[in-house]
Amino acid sequence: MSEKRTRDISTPFMAAIFVTIGAVVIWDTTTYTDADSYVFPRTIATVMIALSILLVLQWLIGWSPSAKDPGIVGAQSVPRRLALFAAMIAAALLMPLLGFLGTGMIAFAAIMLTAMYDPWTPYRFIVYPVAGAVIVGGFYLLFARVLQVPLPEGTWF
């Protein structure tokens, strides 16, 4: 019985990305004035490009150990992953505007909703937000007051 085999295209794709990064690094090193500055990154970038080519050769002759199947992502929640990443990036960008405390509260709530799989019972509806406020507030006080870290105050308020 013939078995339909799908070719793993992720390996050459990733190799191409690494080659591109290496090429960009080498191009950037041409602008440095001192040999001490470019010797190291240029050498490493060259080695990385060579390794990428070696990886593609390995893939071509079929020696490459099987990579993780990226398709497995489909079995899990992609929107939740993206939501978490977006919430964290948004928190980093909004911090100077909203201040650390406000951003922390909003980010905590957003990520809590993202990670929530259990049904919202009245108990959870009250306890989880209160716990979130206590955690964010507690860490804020620890860092801002006890450890004297100058957390951003925000410019919008």
Q: Interaction with another protein in 16-45: which residues (CB under 8 A)? A: 18, 21, 25, 28-29, 32-34, 36-41, 44-45
Alpha-carbon distances, residue 75 vs 4, 6, 53, 68, 70 (angstroms): 22, 19, 32, 14, 10
Q: Does 99 bind another protein (CB under 8 A)?
A: no
Binder of another protein out of 150, 155, 156, 157 (CB under 8 A): 150
Minimum CB distance to another protein, residue 4 (Å): 23
The secondary structure of residue 31, as a DSSP letter, is T
Separation CA 114–CA 84 (nearest Å): 7
If the CB atoms of residues 1 and 72 are measured against another protein, the closer one turns out to be 72
Structure-block tokens of residue 157? 């308020």
- What minimum distance in Å lies between the beta carbon of 2 and another protein? 28
Per CB under 8 A, 152 contacts another protein: yes
**CA 99 to chain CA centroid, nearest Å:** 23
